Each structure stands twice: as structure tokens, then as C-alpha cells.
Amino acid sequence: MTQVLFSEDHEYIKIENGVGPDGSAVKLGIVGITDFAQKALGDVVYVELPKVGATVAKGGQAGVVESVKSASEIYSPVSGEITEVNQALADDPALVNSDPHGAAWFYKIKIANDSELSVLKDEAGYKAFTESL
Amino acid sequence: MENAALKPAELLHKTPLHALHVSLGGKMVPFAGYDMPVQYGDMGVLKEHLHTRSHAGLFDVSHMGQAVLTAKDGDPARILEKLVPGDIAGLSAGQMRYTVLLNDKGGIVDDLMVTRWDERTLLLVVNAACKDKDFAYIRAKIGAETHLEYLGDRALLALQGPKAERALSALIPDAARLFFMTSFKTVYKGQPLYISRSGYTGEDGYEISLPAAFAESFTRELLANDDVKLIGLGARDSLRLEAGLCLYGHDLDEDTTPVEANLKWTIAKRRREEANFAGAEVILKQLADGTARLRVALKPEGKAPVREGAEIHAGGKKIGMVTSGGFGPTADAPVAMGYVDAAYAKNGTAVDAMVRGTPRPCTVAAAPFVKHNYKKD
């Protein structure tokens, strides 16, 4: 079963176990913004994706999502190297509103440090967090 | 979207329609000291914008300042002309005009609508965020000769879009006979209404001033028409931006003259000759010699919105600043306006807007971004 974790900046990360080039176990994360975030933003008209191969730090800027009325930065929930970005999302930014947890993923990242996952919230924890806002 | 430095919600003013907004799913945000709907739950900014351009949008603009100006003796128009460059004395009964309130440096204190009711009475409608300042300024400058009565117990609605005429004239048939920038007073269900064919979206439509206590029931009557939907401040901003219209405090301020703001058309020929309005010396010199900077419309290439505060560069140096910008739902493209050095103000000039450190190519363009749809004849 895929593990999904959430940041307080309203990004989700789906964790997948994979194998690195040298045969070692690596963890990949698929990052997007939550349904709660897309509802708050409103109709998304533009997204900016990170570059494949770039390294981002936890909490660092890894993209931009813009609605008619405002621009918001995507903060990476974990540190690591960007391995893939979702070009289909750049072509059709409205996917963020219609399928935030599915087709509207932003990027895949090779997770550099497992321990960063421990400070993210699980689904119940994130739900409680959004209800407290 | 939500901005900082806010009053707690309980200290914000509420318009007479506040409870209705909340009950209809309005997402309330602080704006100009009022708790106002930025959008409504079932539509959102994009759909609200498009609905206004295709059907009719109803906006609560009761936060704006409505006031009646009279003279202690005779017509107040010539007296008000000391503070504005427009031809107010030449307005006939029912006519209205967009103009700017000027300081002694020729800077814009506010932009406003002035309507002549009759030979002794003018109605002023000013921006919400400026109304206290404006009324204090008008009283300080011309208070000895005039009386300014703030209409604090009236609401103001804007009904905008191609279906506005049909929707309003179904209740008030005479509304269909108005042309753009004219108005009349009427009584509906015993309530005194001031109706003008005007607005700030680029569409045909009306503004309706009405008693606060009557606002909700009249709003519900309009909303009973399926073509009419309540529209929030978010779409109000994208509509006016696409229409190439200025937003005070962003595109206009007290250090900007109407010449710099590319609002030369607001400076009437007679007023140029008379040269008797606040800041006339500065403004007439600018009309003759030009200005160092000018407001222009900007069309960004590609899909990335260019927003307020972005620097405008050309040839590797900063030549201006974006003052309003975003995504235009009808233009289906980013739209912006800002100020550039006059050498770069010509239509077709290529410039860059700096967005998050990246230059985004833009073309200086003719506003509006969408065709105005006014009922002129």
C-alpha cells in the first residue's frame, strides 16, 4: 500500500519504494498539492514545475501554482533530487482543481533523508490540522 | 489573496448585504475596512468573471462612498472644478462623468464618478478605501462654499453584463432607456432609487443606489432572474483589469498625475484653457512637454501571469514596474498594466517583466484587452 504524507504547507507526498542504479533501496516521492489547497486557491491557470535533476531542500521552493487572483509557491516536503516532472500538468493547469491527488502531481523526487518523513502528517493528522485552521 | 495587517473580523464594517453574502456562500475577506465577499462557493472567480461577460453579474459595492454635493449658493459644479480637471459645469441633468480628485501637485487623491442630478446638486461616488480622506479633503478645500452630505444609509449595487438591461428593466422599465453615463432617479415599491448606466467592468450595465434597509429584498428580486448571479471582488478585479481600467492605490496614487496615468482624456479642453484646477501648473506643463513615465497596458507572452510589483526591464535595466496584473479569463491569457519610462511606452515595444527572477517577454499593448460593450447609442 502506498503511504501518503502531508505537510503543513498543504503538499502531499506519496511514498514509493524503488531500487537505485546500484541496486540499493531508494524511496521515491510523488508530490502535489492537496484538495484543501486547491479549494483555497480557486481556479488554477498556471503552474511552474522544477527542473529534472535539480536538488531541492526540505521547505525549499519547488514550483509555483497560480490562480486567477494569486500566486503561491510549492514548498518541497522533503529534500532530494527531482527525477521527473508532470508536463501534462503544465499544459493543463486546471487538473489541479479537477484531480489534485491523481493526475495533477507536480514532480517525483528521490528522497535523500528518510528521517524528514517523520515530521510530516498522516491523513488523519492532516485532516485534523486543516480543521483547526 | 488575504492580505496582512488586518483588523479582526468583528471590527470590520459590514454592508447591508453582509448576511445575504454569508448565507449564499460568500467567502468573506477584509477589503478597505469591510468584510466583503471575494467569491461565492458555487462558482469561483473564473466562472463569476465569465458569467458577467456572458450574462449578468451583480456586485455589492455598498462599501464605496456616496455623497451629495450642494453649494451654499447656486451650482456646486464650478466649485468642485477647483479640485478636478473634468468638465463638471457642462454636465446636463442626469449626465455623469469619470474624473480624478487632484492635490496641489497634480497627483491623484482618488478617482470618482460625478453625476449631475440638477442645476444645484451633484452626486459623488468615491472609492471605499479613500472615502474618509476624500470627504475630509473636499471639506477642507471647498467646505466654506459647499455642503457635502455622506449617504451612509444607502447601499450600492452594480449589475453588469449583456443581460443586465433585460434583468433590471423587467423590474424598472425606464432603465432600458438610459444610455452609457446617464442616470435618473425613480421610486420603486415606495423606495427612492438612483439608477445610472455605468460600471467598471467594460460591460453594459447599471449602478443602483438604494436605501440600506431595501437592499436585501431588491437584491433577491434581481437574483430571482436566472441570468443574474452574485459576483465577488475577485472577479470584479479581473473584469476591470481586462477592461483596462485603473484601480486606485495600485495603478493610481497621490504621486501620479492623470497625464502620467494616461488619463489625459479626463482633462477637458475648457479646463486646460482655464487652468484653474488643483495642480494645473504641473499638469499643463506635462501636457506640453510630456512626462518621464507613462502608464501602459502589457501583454505577457505565454501563460505565466505577471503581477503587481514585478519590475519591467529593457536592455538589461529597470525601466518600470507592474501595478496590476493577473490572468484574464475572457482574454484567456495573462494581462497587466504598469508604468514605464516614456521612451518605452509606444504600442508594440518589447519589454521584460521579471517574474521570480526570470524575464518574461511582454509587449506594450493598447488597452482594453477585451472590447468595451457600452450602450452608447
Domain's final residue, options B242, B257, B282: B242
Pair (B28, B166) in one structural domain: yes
Pair (B199, B333) in one structural domain: no
Per residue in B64-73, pLDDT (tens digit) is 999 999 999 9
> By CA distance, what is A67's nearest residue in B?
B327
Position B220 scores a pLDDT of 98
Q: Is B237's Cβ below 8 Å from some Cβ in A?
A: yes
Question: Å from B192 to nearest chain A CA?
Answer: 36
Contact (Cβ atoms closer than 8 angstroms) between residue B82 and residue B96 = no
Task: Spell out the residues 6+ positions from residue B89 whose beta carbon is closer than 8 angstroms to its own.
Answer: B75, B77, B78, B81
Domain residues for B226? 9-58+157-172+185-242
Pair (B223, B296) in one structural domain: no
Domain count, chain B: 2
ipTM: 0.85
Position A22 scores a pLDDT of 81
> By CA distance, what is B332's nearest residue in A?
A45
- Could you tell me if residue B336 is inside a domain? yes
Pair (B54, B199) in one structural domain: yes
Instruction: Give the pLDDT band (50/70/90) at residue B8.
Output: low
Best of A69, A92, A133 to mutate (most B CBs within 10 Å, chain B) = A69
Instruction: Give the pLDDT band (50/70/90) at residue A133.
Output: confident
Best of A38, A39, A43 to mutate (most B CBs within 10 Å, chain B) = A43
Closest CA to B61 of B102, B7, B10, B15: B15
Position A19 scores a pLDDT of 78
- Could you tell me if residue B221 is inside a domain? yes
Q: Is A71's Cβ below 8 Å from some Cβ in B?
A: yes
Counting every residue, how long is chain A? 133
How many CB atoms sit inside 10 A of residue A95's CB?
21
Q: Is A46's Cβ below 8 Å from some Cβ in B?
A: yes
What is the arithmetic mean of pLDDT over B349-362?
Answer: 96
- Could you tell me if residue B270 is inside a domain? no
Pair (B51, B162) in one structural domain: yes
Q: Would the CB atoms of A68 and B46 count as touching at under 8 Å? A: yes
Pair (B228, B358) in one structural domain: no
Domains observed in chain A: 3-131 (2.40.50.100)
Contact (Cβ atoms closer than 8 angstroms) between residue B100 and residue B268 = no
What is the arithmetic mean of pLDDT over B201-230?
Answer: 98
Q: Is A67's Cβ below 8 Å from some Cβ in B?
A: yes
What is the C-alpha separation between B221 and B89, in angstroms, rounded? 37
What is the arithmetic mean of pLDDT over B145-169?
Answer: 98
Q: Is A39's Cβ below 8 Å from some Cβ in B?
A: no
Closest CA to B333 of B355, B366, B306: B306
Q: Would the CB atoms of A46 and B303 count as touching at under 8 Å? A: yes
Q: Does residue B2 register a pLDDT over 60?
A: no
- Could you tell me if residue B134 is inside a domain? no
Q: What is the CATH number of the domain that holds B233?
A: 3.30.1360.120
Q: Does residue B5 register a pLDDT over 80?
A: no
Position B377 scores a pLDDT of 83
Q: Would the CB atoms of A69 and B1 count as touching at under 8 Å? A: yes
Pair (B36, B161) in one structural domain: yes
Angle at B148 between CA B142 and CA B153, to 5 degrees: 160
Q: Does residue B117 register a pLDDT over 50?
A: yes
Q: Is B329's Cβ below 8 Å from some Cβ in A?
A: yes
How many CB atoms sit inside 10 A of residue B55's CB?
19
Domain's final residue, options B242, B265, B282: B242
Position B1 scores a pLDDT of 32
- Could you tell me if residue B342 is inside a domain? yes
Q: Does residue B6 register a pLDDT over 80?
A: no
Q: Is A92's Cβ below 8 Å from some Cβ in B?
A: no
Closest CA to B298 of B265, B339, B270, B263: B339
Q: In angstroms, how far is CA B308 from the centroid of its own chain?
A: 17
Angle at B201 between CA B137 and CA B242, to 5 degrees: 105
Position B246 scores a pLDDT of 98
> By CA distance, what is A41's nearest residue in B?
B1
Position A17 scores a pLDDT of 87
Q: Is A91's Cβ below 8 Å from some Cβ in B?
A: no
Pair (B53, B161) in one structural domain: yes
User: Using CB atoms, which residue from A42, A43, A71 is nearest to B305?
Assistant: A71
What is the C-alpha separation between B198 and B190, in angstroms, rounded? 24
Q: Is B300's Cβ below 8 Å from some Cβ in A?
A: no
> By CA distance, what is A47's nearest residue in B?
B304
How many CB atoms sit inside 10 A of residue A17's CB?
10
Pair (B168, B314) in one structural domain: no
Best of A44, A64, A68 to mutate (most B CBs within 10 Å, chain B) = A68
Q: Does residue B286 register a pLDDT over 50?
A: yes
Q: What is the CATH number of the domain that holds B325?
A: 2.40.30.110
Q: Does residue A1 register a pLDDT over 70?
A: no
Question: Is B150 buried (19+), middle (13-18) or exposed (0-12) by CB count in 10 A?
Answer: middle
Position B42 scores a pLDDT of 80
Per residue in B38-89, pLDDT (tens digit) is 999 889 999 999 999 999 999 999 999 999 999 999 999 999 999 999 999 9
Q: Would the CB atoms of A66 and B305 count as touching at under 8 Å? A: yes
Pair (B223, B336) in one structural domain: no
- Could you tell me if residue B152 is inside a domain? no
Per residue in A46-73, pLDDT (tens digit) is 999 999 999 999 999 999 999 988 899 9
Position A26 scores a pLDDT of 84
Radius of gyration in angstroms for the set of CA atoms belonging to chain A, rounded to a whole number: 14
- B chain contacts of residue A93, beta-carbon cutoff 8 Å: 303
Pair (B235, B299) in one structural domain: no
Question: Å from A101 to nearest chain B CA?
Answer: 20
Strand B293-300 to B311-314 pairing: unpaired
What is the C-alpha separation between B321 and A35, in angstroms, rounded? 34
Q: How does DSSP assign B324-374, residue by residue?
A: EEEEETTTTEEEEEEEEEGGG-STT-EEEEEETTEEEEEEEEPSPSS----
- Could you tell me if residue B91 is inside a domain? no
- B chain contacts of residue A48, beta-carbon cutoff 8 Å: 304, 356
Q: Does residue B4 register a pLDDT over 80?
A: no
